Chains A and B, each alone.
Chain A
Amino acid sequence: MNKRTLMAACVAATAGLVLAACSTFTPPTKQETQAVVKSSFSERSIAKLDRLEQNEIQTICSDTRDNPSKEQVAKIEKLATATIRYPADGKFLGDWKAGERVAQSGVGMQWSDNDKTVNGGNCYACHQIDKKEISFGNIGPSLNQYGKLRGNSEPILKYTWGKIWNSHAFTACSQMPRYGDAKILTEQQIRDVMALLLDPASPVNQ
């Protein structure tokens, strides 16, 4: 039943003709919900309204409630893999100390931030990393001993870089932000986080 017929039915019901029609409920379509959502947010500081426009991966993950079909998984992983940019100079590892600062920082890209805010990775929000930090979340797996367990061969370096760049390349509808693809972290920041995970000298691997 479209809106006009529903309205007509309700007018009829008011007139005492078809009382049952008024209690008929048609679930809102996605378009109707989107119109309500768009009318409910406004831009503030760096958070503009274009953030409400969904990309293809966001659309599939929303519509399937993060349970994409086999075909959708293949599609998402292909789309995400195509976004990955490896470092041009082939240098994957930076400074683990700087990486630890990126992992600790939870600011950036909120409407309470501005264009001067240096974005953090907020890795500890979801992951255990350095054992000394006891305030860590559990949405993602523990990354303690990450490099010690895996070594830092080229496939491991490339996998880890890609995972940070666009997590959906390996896990469709992952909850992890696309740190490289969505330009949350700079290439240098990603190098530093890579070092935190993979440098044998990093406390993560002690």
Chain B
Amino acid sequence: MHHSAPPRSRARLIRVAVLAALCGAGAAAQAQGTTADEIAKYRAMLQDGNPAELVAMRGEELWKTPRGPKKATLEQCDLGQGPGKIKGAYAQMPRYFADADTVMDFESRLIWCMDKLQGIPPAEAKKNPFSGAGQRQTDVEAITAFVVEASRGAKIAVPQSHPKEKAAFARGEQLFWQRGGPFDFSCSTCHSRDDQRIRLQELPNLTKQEPARKAFAQWPAYRVSQGALRTMQWRLNDCFRQQRWPYLEFTSPASVDLITFLGVNANGGVMESPAIKR
């Protein structure tokens, strides 16, 4: 199915660009209520041509190509459903892994598999996980796009059976409400009430099931404004930047705790990632 994708996706990319230009011009002329409607329409149209497909294709290559000192592929990586099973796996993470004796989100598990299967040291695999403006997507981003795509349509079922999974959720919930930094911001500042906006950006109330489902279901996502696929780890990292907190380390325990909190709140939702966003 992926073999016919490039020309189709290129045509889609052009369509996306044209739509973006048209909608941008249209929206500016409207009053605010209408602007929100226009943005909703723009987002709906974008779903039809998602450049994330191209990123996922490269991720598939990376997944299946022998790499690292051990010259191994990632195909035997166990994402919780058994070695080599990726269908629906992302929708059931973060989860406890007995071999690592810890709870891992997908991106943490990827770093683990790169280490154990391919012999790539975690410090090296974790270096620069997010692509900069105009840069090519990183390997971590591309592989994440490929794996999350295999969960499209899968029900979100982040487990809470192991005590460490429960502890991760509980810590994530505490951190969600923790105010800090010079601006006194917490996650809850923006994400614990209904119908809130920053400028025109609507903010999901992540303490409620429906908005939490939608948020978890749509990340990783292709960000049109940045021309890049962004992962859940990036999403959290950039929230904390705007919260004026220090730098949230990639795949840090607190990041996994917050993703667990969000994921459990989102249980029962259906994965739509990689989605496409403004």
Instruction: Tell me the A residues contacting B by CB distance below 8 Å.
Output: 22-25, 27-28, 30, 32-33, 36-37, 39-44, 47-49, 51-52, 54, 57-58, 61-62, 65-66, 109-112, 124-126, 134-139, 175, 177-178, 182-184
CB contacts between A and B, total, < 8 Å: 136
For the residues of B in contact with A, the DSSP-based class is mixed
Known: A22-B163, A47-B181, A182-B184. 4 other contacts (CB 8 A): A28-B170, A51-B244, A136-B32, A137-B197
A138 contacts across to B, CB distance below 8 A: 195-197
A62 contacts across to B, CB distance below 8 A: 177-180, 186
| Contacting pair B246 A42 (CB below 8 A) | yes
Interface size counted on chain B using CB atoms at 8 A: 45
In the bound complex, CA of A134 to CA of B200 (Å):
8
Interface bits B33-71 vs A (CB < 8 Å: 1, else 0): 001000000000000000000000000000000000000
Instruction: Tell me the B residues contacting A by CB distance below 8 Å.
Output: 31-32, 35, 163, 166-167, 170-171, 174-175, 177-186, 188-190, 192, 195-201, 240-242, 244-249, 252-255, 257
| Contacting pair B253 A30 (CB below 8 A) | no
In the bound complex, CA of A58 to CA of B179 (Å):
5
B186 contacts across to A, CB distance below 8 A: 62
A27 contacts across to B, CB distance below 8 A: 166-167, 170
Q: Closest CB-CB distance, B128 to chain A, in whole Å?
A: 14
Given contact pairs A65-B177, A125-B199, A134-B31, A33 touches B245 in the complex (Cβ within 8 A)? no
Give the 7 A-B CB pairs with smallest separation, nearest first. A40-B254, A40-B252, A44-B247, A41-B246, A177-B183, A58-B179, A182-B182
Nearest A residue to B28 by beta-carbon distance? A134
Q: Closest CB-CB distance, B131 to chain A, in whole Å?
A: 15
Given contact pairs A33-B175, A36-B253, A138-B197, A52 touches B245 in the complex (Cβ within 8 A)? yes
Q: Closest CB-CB distance, B190 to chain A, in whole Å?
A: 7
Q: Closest CB-CB distance, A164 to chain B, in whole Å?
A: 14
Nearest A residue to B207 by beta-carbon distance? A65
| Contacting pair A40 B170 (CB below 8 A) | no
